[in-house]
Amino acid sequence: MNEKMLTTLQELRKFALNKGITAEFFFHEEDSALMRFANSAISLNTNEHLLRLEITAYEDQKRASFSMITNLDAVEDMKQGVLQAAEIVKHAQPLSYQPTIPVYQETIIEDFAFDPDLAGISNSEKLDYFNQAVDGLESDQIKLGGIYSSGKNVIAMMNTQSEHAQAFTTSDAQITMVLSHKTLKWEVIDEQSAQKKADLDPAPLHRQLSYLLGHYQNDPAEQVPLGEYDIVFGPAATAELVNTMNWIGFNGGMMKRGYSFLTEEHLGQQVLGETFTLVDDPSRRETFPFSRDMMGVRREPFTLFDKGVFRAFTWNQDDADEYGAQPTGHDVMHKSLVVGAGDEPINTLEELVNAPREKDVLYIPFIHYMNFVNPSKGLITGSSRFGALLLKQDGSVVVPYNVRLTQSLLDIFGEKVAWMSDGQVAYNTSSSYGARNPTALVVPNFVYVKDLAISHANSSY
Amino acid sequence: MHQQIKAQIDRVVSSGAVYADARWYPVEEANHLTMWNGNLKHASASRESGMGVRVLHQGAWGFSASSDMNNLTGLFDKALDNARTAAERVTFPIRLAEKDAVQASFSSPNQIDPFTIPYGEKVGFLKEMDQLLDQPGVTQRIVRLTFMRKQILYFDSEGSEIEKNIIEVFPSLGVMGMDADGAAHERTFRPSRLGDTRGWETIDQTLFTREGERIVRELNQVLKAEPCPKEDRSVILLPGIMFLQTHETIGHALELDRILGYELAFAGGSFVTLGDFGNLRYGSEKLTARANATVTNSPGSFGYDDDGVPAQDNLLIDKGILVGAITGRQMVEEANATARKPIFQGSSGANRATAFYRVPIERMTNINIDPGTDGTLEDIIKNTEKGIVLDGDKSWSIGSNREQFHFATEIGWLVEEGEITQVVKNATYKGDTLKFYNALSAVGDESTWELKYVDNCGKGQPSQIMQLGHGIPVCRFDDVRIGE
């Protein structure tokens, strides 16, 4: 962490105290780079270095914030921001509860999830990685797309309640590689998530993309008849589905507002299938964790579902203050969700395709444009994309045109789950909306669910 | 600063770049206020400034951005360096469609700058609306006000210099309630744009009071309603959902970068091909759609895009036939070269970036549907045998090539033999895009046309949020599956 950032926090704290202002200061610094590919060319090569400062001022039960993009030389500007926040809070409406301001008991400066080699990876290294991963796979019709997003992230915070600070530095890379057919418009994908440079390896991507291309170029394609199928979800699909529970599942505040398929009556009950265990586990480095939350609470493994039994809601401080609940250390930019591995020794697509089966099985690696149709019922909808396969009972493989699933999470992760892989993978779910916030879930390589209905099937690619 | 920027542009061009532009944001401000169940959960303001630089070198783009204006040389050099790397993997060397160099300015029309309104007055509005919504049946009340103000100075190596000053106001009301089964339902109000301006004067307290009472009344109807049946009906889409249908299945489908495959790794592509322009029957003859960036009171109007091209009003679909796309300078050149014929006559002026630290990409302006000749909403209902009127966007999910979709709405009213018979909850509809638009059987007249705004359209990597508009009449589509 930049020493100047710490001294700037101290200076802002001193300034606020001298002015009689109660305030929190939160820095977010990102040094981000993104190399984007489309039509087998680099369509965009960009980088940005941004420092954001958010100042939250408090006055009794009132709270207001002012944020700015700034640089560490602009301390006077930042002080004006402090005054701005203090001015806004004067006009704010008192909350119906007393908001809690953290009192940090010790200074935490942490960079165990930072690798300077990954953060500083060069343009030529990134291009070389991509070239290796698709070596020999492109053609006049097969085009490369994707991203190599990498960077360094620093968050640092202090407030007027104590002299201590918290600062966390991470490095991350998210690689997405897509090969698409120029005229037929199908796409296959493979991805890699890295927290340190040693995590990077283009070879597995080359193997997976080669394998998928083999099927997509040689196997027949067809519109899938509507009906029920056994479906195997790949890591991206599983991660996306589990991630929705952050919003409409175990979030205590959302539950209280009626925006969840879980209620307090579900606590201790068998809600999902016995194969489903979900833990927020900040000890998993590949999820880009911090050791403390923003309130200074030490992050510990936190069980959400234990063999399908719902164990706990997560509570951030503000929701806990409002609803009289106990905060659970979840004032975080992202959780470290880990779906427990199963016991099925099928971990590669090739193993899945070659496994004996009693009926046709639909492999869905990725769910496109998922949305909540009815949050209270856990009902979601989305379409397959990026390399689905229909594994026929007779051992043959068909390429299915994309299909739509409109299903409840209660069914997808309920008793219909037949098995999960005994191996896990980190799936990167980072979004580049707003400030950089590397995020990944750890999920089983495959989740096999019986008898899920397809609600729509495309008639072509 | 102007001279320094122009000197840097000249310098990178003399270093081998064939084109360069810079967007300097001296100031961009936003103000967000959210009152949730009487609690002012968010009272925030933000300010940012910085510059984004785009350099074209040997057929490839490089981009760099920074909030630190003390090292312009480093910023421009980084953009050029990024372009040099990108030039190592070029399949179609980028070139830009012709445009005139302009020295111009644009200011969005507003009478009252919302940033001059005291916080106390803004909070007073939230409080009054919150109290209005605090009625039986309502468990959650959400009142939001968002204000944006940005100054953008654009310079390019072709001699253009443009200053834009844009103000936007985005207000909304929302209520939620629980039905007897414990399921949540919601009803929202986001005002259509009326008048010719975009400032604080558009916050019409009388309108908000009337509409607030309406959404509470309709929420309570939904809470007691039967579920939407699962069957085929005519769907009559009010502007409060038809704007999103248009957005997702006409707007995004006709972005030229999607059509050319530039979003295939993320947002998706389009079922439209270059061979479809002038030929494809996108919808029935009742469908005429346009990209009109000259509507004065909409966030989809911005004077000049971030290629420095003036705002335009262009047809996209003419009486059902596909005739145009949403384009910028780069993509029209590639499309015409790929098709080996001039499909597009220059840029349509739709290349925009969300912030100084993002690169411009094809974005919707105001994607509008022309009013039709099928009368008022009442006329359309009267002429519908078995249908459902739908309003309010609750959920939306679209296929990766925009070829199919599934929408859930906040409310539905069943229509039997030309009359509304009952309200239903959990209303949904789905379809295939071309089949759906070809089943367009009625388009309302000007009395049904409303200009809706979108303040959060996401696209691109790194992701960008954009503001735009949709001028939309009531539309009816036949034989649509509902209730799934």
Return the closest-CA partner of residue A420 out of A370, A347, A351, A354: A347
**How many Å lie between the alpha carbon of B91 and the closest alpha carbon of chain A?**
5
In chain A, the N- to C-terminal Cα span, in Å, equals 49
Residue B400 and residue B281 in one domain: yes
Domain boundary among A162, A193, A218: A218
| Sheet of B289-292, strands arranged across | B321-322, B313-318, B289-292, B367-369
Q: What is the mean pLDDT of chain B?
A: 96
Q: Are residues B175 and B265 in the same domain?
A: no
Residues in chain B: 484
Q: Which residues of A22-43 are buried (b: 16+ CB within 10 A; e: fewer)?
A: bbbbbbbbbbbbbbbbbbbbbb
List the single best residue of A2, A45, A80 to mutate versus B (max B Cβ within 10 A). Answer: A45
CATH number of residue B147's parent domain = 3.30.2290.10
Same domain assignment for residues B205 and B179: yes
Query: What confidence score (pLDDT) does residue A460 get?
Result: 86
Shared domain for A80 and A119, answered yes or no, is: yes
Reading phi first (left if > 0) and then psi (alpha if -120 to 50, else beta), residue A323 is in alpha
CB atoms within 10 A of CB B77: 19
Residue A433: its pLDDT value, please?
62
Q: Are residues B148 and B97 in the same domain?
A: yes
**Could you give the CA distance from residue A374 to residue A372 in angstroms, rounded to a whole number?**
6
- Contact status of A418 with chain B (Cβ, < 8 Å): no
Instruction: Name chain B contacts of A40, Cβ cutoff 8 Å.
Output: 89, 91
* Facing B397 at nearest CB: one of A48, A73, A371: A371
Interface contacts A/B by beta carbons within 8 Å? 254
d(CA A29, CA A50) in angstroms, rounded, equals: 6
Residues B97 and B10 in one domain: yes
- Separation of alpha carbons B323 and B336, rounded Å: 14
- Six-digit token string for A13: 């704290």
- Phi and psi of A79, rounded to 5°? -65, -35
Taking CA B387 as the corner, what is the angle to CA B385 and CA B390, rounded to the nearest 5 degrees?
A: 150
CA distance, residue A367 to nearest chain B CA (Å): 10
The secondary structure of A236-255 as a DSSP string is: HHHHHHHHTHHHHTSBHHHH
As beta bridge partners, residue B94 has: none
Among A27, A51, A69, which would you mutate to test the B interface (most chain B Cβ atoms within 10 Å of its Cβ)? A69
Which of residues B192, B224, B256 is at a domain's end?
Answer: B224
- Residue A205 has what pLDDT? 96
Sign, Cα dihedral of B210, B211, B217, B221: positive
Do the chains contact at A45 and B83, CB–CB below 8 Å? yes
Question: Looking at beta carbons, which residues of chain A come within 8 Å of B67?
Answer: 49-51, 69-71
Closest chain B C-alpha to A74 CA, distance in angstroms: 10
What pLDDT was estimated at residue A1? 66
Q: Output the domain CATH number for residue A87.
A: 3.30.2290.10
Contacts of B357 in chain A (CB under 8 A): 48, 50
In chain A, the number of structural domains is 2
Per residue in B368-383, pLDDT (tens digit) is 999 999 999 999 999 9
DSSP B85-133: HHTTS-SS----------EEEEE---SS-GGGS-HHHHHHHHHHHHHHH
Q: Do A431 and B463 touch (CB under 8 A)?
A: yes
Is A196 in the same domain as A232?
no
Beta bridge partners of B88: none
- Which pLDDT score is estimated for B249? 98
Using the Cβ of A241 and the Cβ atoms of chain B, whether some distance falls under 8 Å is answered with no
User: Which of B203, B224, B245 finishes a domain?
Assistant: B224
Regions of chain B short of the pLDDT cut 50: none
pLDDT of residue B121: 93
The residue from B201, B224, B247 where one domain ends is: B224
In this structure, are B264 and B205 located in the same domain? no
Its ipTM equals: 0.93
CA distance linking residue B165 with residue B152, whole number of Å: 7
Interface test with A, best of B31, B33, B36, B44 (most A CBs within 10 A): B44
| Per-position DSSP letters for A303-319, written without gaps between them | EEEETTEE---B--HHH
Rg (CA), chain B: 23
Q: Give contacts of A 343-382 with B, CB under 8 A.
A: 368-377, 381-382
Give the range of the structural domain holding residue B204, as residue numbers without chain letter: 2-224
Q: Which residue of B has its CA nearest to A385?
A: B400
Q: Which residue has the tokens 């001028």?
A: B471
Identify the CA nearest to A34 among candidates B77, B357, B49.
Answer: B357
Neighbours of A98 (CB within 10 A): 11
Stretch (H or E) spanning A218: helix A202-218
> Does A95 sit within 8 Å of B35, measured CB to CB?
no
Separation in Å, CA A109 to CA A194, A289, A290, A336: 22, 14, 10, 20
Token code pair at residue B129: 């609306």
Domain identity same for A226 and A110: no
- Co-location of A307 and A334 in the same domain: yes
Number of domains forming the structure of chain B: 2
Give the C-alpha separation, A108 to A6, whole Å: 11
Residue A118: give the domain boundaries.
3-218
Are β-strands A162-181 and A108-113 bridged in parallel, bridged antiparallel, or unpaired? parallel
Both structure tokens of B241: 């959902």
In sequence order, the 6+-apart residues with CB closer than 8 A to the CB of B299 are B168, B198, B453, B454, B455, B467, B468, B469
pLDDT of residue A130: 94
Neighbouring CB atoms inside 10 A of B421's CB total 10
- Say if A124 is an interface residue toward chain B (CB within 8 Å): yes
* A136: CB partners within 8 A, 6+ apart: none
Tell me the residue type at B196.
Answer: D
* pLDDT tens per residue across span B44-78: 999 999 999 999 999 999 999 998 888 999 999 99
Nearest Cα residue in chain A from B35: A93
Same domain, A207 and A295: no
A178/A247 same-domain check: no
B28 lies in the same domain as B117: yes
**Which residues in chain B are contacts of A69 at CB distance < 8 A?**
47-50, 67
Q: Do B89 and A42 touch (CB under 8 A)?
A: yes
How far apart, in whole angstroms, are the C-alpha atoms of residue A260 and residue B44? Answer: 27
Q: Are residues A47 and A195 in the same domain?
A: yes
* CA distances for B207 relative to B148, B171, B191, B198, angstroms: 22, 12, 9, 16
The dihedral over CA atoms of B100, B101, B105, B106, expressed in degrees to the nearest 10, equals 30
Do B178 and B223 form a contact (C-beta atoms < 8 A)? yes
Same domain as A432, residue A405: yes
Cβ atoms < 10 Å from Cβ of A134? 23
Does B218 lie in the same domain as B237?
A: no
- The residue type found at B128 is E
CB contact under 8 A, B82 and A46: yes
pLDDT of residue A432: 65
Domain final position from A218, A251, A278: A218
pLDDT in tens, chain A (461 residues): 679 999 999 999 999 999 999 999 999 999 999 999 999 999 998 888 889 999 999 999 999 999 999 989 999 999 999 999 999 999 888 999 999 999 999 999 999 889 999 999 999 999 999 999 999 999 999 999 999 999 999 999 999 999 999 999 999 999 999 999 998 889 999 999 999 999 999 999 999 999 999 999 999 999 999 999 999 999 999 999 999 999 999 999 999 999 999 999 999 999 999 999 999 999 999 999 999 999 999 999 999 999 999 999 999 999 999 999 999 999 999 999 999 999 999 999 999 999 999 999 999 999 999 999 999 999 999 999 999 999 999 999 999 999 999 999 999 999 999 999 999 999 999 876 667 889 999 999 999 999 999 999 999 88
Chain B neighbors of A135, CB-CB under 8 A = none
Nearest to A147 among B120, B271, B461 (CB): B461
State the Cα–Cα distance between residues B262 and B35, nearest whole angstrom. Answer: 40
d(CA A28, CA A226): 48
Looking from the CA of B94 toward its CB, the CA atoms found within 13 Å total 31
Chain B CB contacts of A148 below 8 Å:
none
Mutate to test the interface with B, among A27, A29, A35, A46 (most CBs of B within 10 A): A46
Q: Is A409 found in the same domain as A283?
A: yes
How does strand B103-107 pair with strand B226-227?
unpaired
Q: How far from B176 is each of A42, A372, B219, CA to CA, in Å? A: 46, 15, 7
**Across the interface, do B67 and A69 touch by the CB < 8 Å criterion?**
yes
User: What is the residue whose two structure tokens read 């098995």?
Assistant: A419
Contact A413, A375 (CB under 8 A): no
Predicted pLDDT of residue B195: 85
Q: Give the whole-angstrom CA distance, residue A41 versus residue A57.
A: 48
Tell me: do B176 and B256 sit in the same domain. no
Residues B206 and B355 occupy one common structural domain: no
Is the alpha carbon torsion for A280, A283, A286, A290 positive or negative? positive
Are A110 and A259 members of one domain? no
Please report, as a single letter, which amino acid is at residue A283: S
Chain A residues within an 8 Å CB radius of B265? 36-38, 145-147, 176-178, 180, 187, 189
Which residues does residue A55 pair with via DSSP β-bridges, in sequence order?
A25, A66
Contact A93 B39 (CB under 8 A): yes
Q: Does A182 touch chain B (CB under 8 A)?
A: yes
- Closest by Cβ to B119, choosing from A88, A124, A147: A88
Looking at the structure, tell me whether residues A159 and A229 fall in a common domain.
Answer: no
Claim to verify: residue A208 and residue A279 sit in the same structural domain: no
Please name the residue that has the structure tokens 């989809």.
B300
Residue at which a domain ends, from A171, A192, A218: A218
Buried b / exposed e over A69-94, threshold 16 CB at 10 Å, is bbbbebbeebbebbbbbbebbebbbe
Cα–Cα distance, B240 to B413 (Å, whole number): 14
Peptide bond connecting B462 to the previous residue in cis, omega within 30 degrees of 0: yes
Query: In this structure, what DSSP letter does residue B250 have?
Result: I
Task: Clarify whether residues B218 and B287 are in a common domain.
Answer: no
Same structural domain for residues B159 and B218?
yes
Closest residue to B404, CB basis, from A69, A404, A433: A404
